[in-house]
Amino acid sequence: MADKTAPPPAGSGAAVLADSVPAAGPAAPARPSPPVRGGGARRRGARRHRWPVVVPFFAFLAVCFGLPAGTMVYGAFTVVDSATGEGRFSTENVSGSLSGAYATGLTGSVELSAVTALLATVIGTLIAQAVVSSPRPALRGVVVSASGVLANFSGAPLAFAFIATLGTTGTVTQLFHLDRTGFSLYSFTGLVLAYLYFMVPLMVVTVLPALDGLRSQWQEAAASCGATRGQYWRHVGIPVLTPSLLGGAVLMFGTAFASHATAAVMVGSSQPLITIQIANALNGNVLVGQENLALAMSLNMVVIALLVMAVQIPLQRRSTRWLG
Amino acid sequence: MARMKFTSRGVVLPLAALYFLVPIGASVWFSVNEVEGISFDAYTKGLGTEGLTTSLMLSVRLGLATIVCGLLLMVPTLVAISLYLPRLRRIVEVLCMMPLVVPPIALVAGVTTVLSWEQDLADTPLYMTFQVLRDEEFPLILVLVYTVMSLPFLYRSLDAGLRAVDLRTLVEAARSLGASRLQTLWQVVVPNLRTAVVGGAVLSLAMVLGEYTVASVLSYRPFSVWMVEIKDSEAQLSVAAAMLSLLITWGLLLLLTTLAGGRSRRRAHSGRENRKKTVS
């Protein structure tokens, strides 16, 4: 590439074609060139020495991601004969992972993710819109930094915060005698409440740039055409935002779907969730010879995540057209 | 207009504040509330316990190793791609986003299976590699898995950083002044990517410090696993530890805004403010 370009004009200062320069020492003797180490050798090697830079990256991914992922797919379709120890191709694991308690777990996870994604998208957008339309810039700073922290506050610590608040001996439970109303944190509702704690801030951070992109000229134009505020949102605001909102919802779904720690610490196995079932299977709580069931369940998760993510790709293109 | 103000700011924000502040306040109260009044024992005595320091130190060491590993992989790769190998950009982007499709629990299911090959490889040199990977003192396997999990945000952060600087000019200038490739990378490119590098690093660290799934399945004992282990015997201490981890996350992100809050960020921010002023 660069070694085919013409030698740089002598004395042209610093910003010239870099790769050709160190080697071009003899061609441009007038330049006060700094000491060049191994000039000629480097030029000849320049072209060859570019792609090795990216080899570690691909090698790393192949070993640390490709190998486990490949094993997962292979294992999901393999049944190990307990007598001979030999594996054979079979769809038993996959069909097993899609029936009975495991099917309940899968649908439970999908339901929980869908409900929390919907709620987080709506609530997060409302909060973000409240911040964007606020005349005080300080409010924005506070909300953005708080969202950054809270979006990262998930997993075990979050579960403890909710147990301490709304658990059986939690502060709020005791204060308002919530146990008498039949409320339980260790339920679907409890999980939704806890998940929203990190999903809403994540949605706020995600959707803020899109709301910033809504130009107030559009609103003024709509208003001068006689549109009410409701009409503006129905015909202009929401349609322009739809791709971003759906993209955010997809991200929310993926986040909720992949969550394991919060639910594992809070409700244990009492709620049927696929992540908890996989963890239980991996910890040896299934019958011997059924380890591959965990791999089949993992494969199901990946397939669902892929399907949901696939929704986002065409949407993103549309979103950049208006809000880019 | 007035109605809109009422609905969005007058109701949404106070409700949100209530929802987000109550669990924190209630947790702090839970951790200090004793039968005979208020006691800060969970914080003063509990946080000094050996289990906490060992597990927290393990988490921090894992986090730092993950950052080093991730940056060493990603910075040269992304710089090389934006300079010389633009055709690889798309595939690298897709590969970096793969961990978003494969949830940690699914990834660790695959990793467990790979690790279970250890017995079959007992006679080969690879056996030693497995031993090193699973070392109790410093489980390298966790670093590797965490590095994979941190790729999406490292990519996003570094990609945004690389788009913001005129990389080609910078590299050409440095090279024409006689800097070697490594010097260029280390003394010219990386300082210009400071915001992106720090941003990616802080997010990785926050992720590793709070990570539970992978570590618990592989039976190691970093901070959050320890927190869960003590929850039945010392509930107050576990809640205090949860608050500590919130504080650490907050501190880390504060550090990020301070360190990275240099020129670029301020410029972007004031630009946005200006635009809002002119149009409103």
- Which residue of A lies nearest to B18 if distances are taken between CA atoms? A197
Contact B31 A164 (CB under 8 A): yes
**Considering only CB atoms, which chain B residues are within 8 Å of A14?**
173, 176-177
- Cα(B57)–Cα(A171) distance, rounded to whole angstroms? 31
Query: How confident is the prediction along chain B (280 residues), in pLDDT tens digits per residue?
Result: 444 444 557 788 888 888 998 889 888 888 887 767 777 777 777 777 778 888 889 999 999 999 999 999 999 899 888 888 888 888 998 888 888 889 999 999 999 888 888 777 777 777 777 777 877 788 999 999 999 999 988 998 898 888 888 888 888 898 899 888 888 888 888 888 888 888 888 888 888 988 999 999 888 999 889 988 888 888 888 888 888 888 888 888 888 777 766 544 444 444 444 444 443 3
Give how far B264 is from chain A: nearest CA, Å.
17
Give how far A305 is from chain B: nearest CA, Å.
5
The per-residue pLDDT for A49 is 61
Give how far B114 is from chain A: nearest CA, Å.
6
Give how far A56 is from chain B: nearest CA, Å.
7
Block residue for tokens 């990570």: B211
Estimate the crossing angle of helix B13-32 against helix B235-260, to 10 degrees: 130
- CATH homologous superfamily of A96-323 equals MetI-like (1.10.3720.10)
In sequence order, the 6+-apart residues with CB closer than 8 A to the CB of A145 are: B253, B254, B257
For chain A, the domains span 52-92, 96-323
The per-residue pLDDT for A317 is 65
Contact B85 A50 (CB under 8 A): yes
Contact A130 B13 (CB under 8 A): yes
Asked whether the beta carbons of B200 and B70 are under 8 A apart, the reply is yes
- Cα(A150)–Cα(A201) distance, rounded to whole angstroms? 6
The per-residue pLDDT for A66 is 92
B102 in reach of chain A (CB within 8 A): yes
Give the residue ranges of chain A where pLDDT is below 50. Answer: 1-46, 324
Interface probe, candidates B7, B83, B88, B113, chain A, greatest A C-beta count within 10 A: B113
B86 in reach of chain A (CB within 8 A): no
Going by C-alpha positions, the residue among B184, B185, B198, B190 that lies closest to residue B255 is B198
Helices (H), chain A: 39-46, 55-61, 67-76, 92-97, 100-132, 137-151, 156-166, 171-176, 188-213, 216-224, 229-232, 238-258, 261-267, 274-282, 291-323
Going by C-alpha positions, the residue among B56, B91, B7, B61 that lies closest to residue B223 is B56
B176 in reach of chain A (CB within 8 A): yes
The per-residue pLDDT for A319 is 59
The per-residue pLDDT for A65 is 92
- Which residue of B lies nearest to A230 if distances are taken between CA atoms? B4
**Considering only CB atoms, which chain A residues are within 8 Å of B21?**
none
A289 in reach of chain B (CB within 8 A): no
Give how far A92 is from chain B: nearest CA, Å.
18
Going by C-alpha positions, the residue among A247, A148, A134, A234 that lies closest to residue A198 is A148
- Cα(A87)–Cα(A84) distance, rounded to whole angstroms? 9
The per-residue pLDDT for A266 is 87
**What is the complex's ipTM, to 2 decimals?**
0.81
B100 in reach of chain A (CB within 8 A): yes
**Considering only CB atoms, which chain A residues are within 8 Å of B29?**
171
Going by C-alpha positions, the residue among B202, B43, B30, B18 that lies closest to residue A170 is B30
A200 in reach of chain B (CB within 8 A): yes
Q: Which residue in the set B8, B74, B101 is minimally distant from A126, CB to CB? A: B8
Interface probe, candidates B212, B219, B270, chain A, greatest A C-beta count within 10 A: B212
Contact A157 B178 (CB under 8 A): no
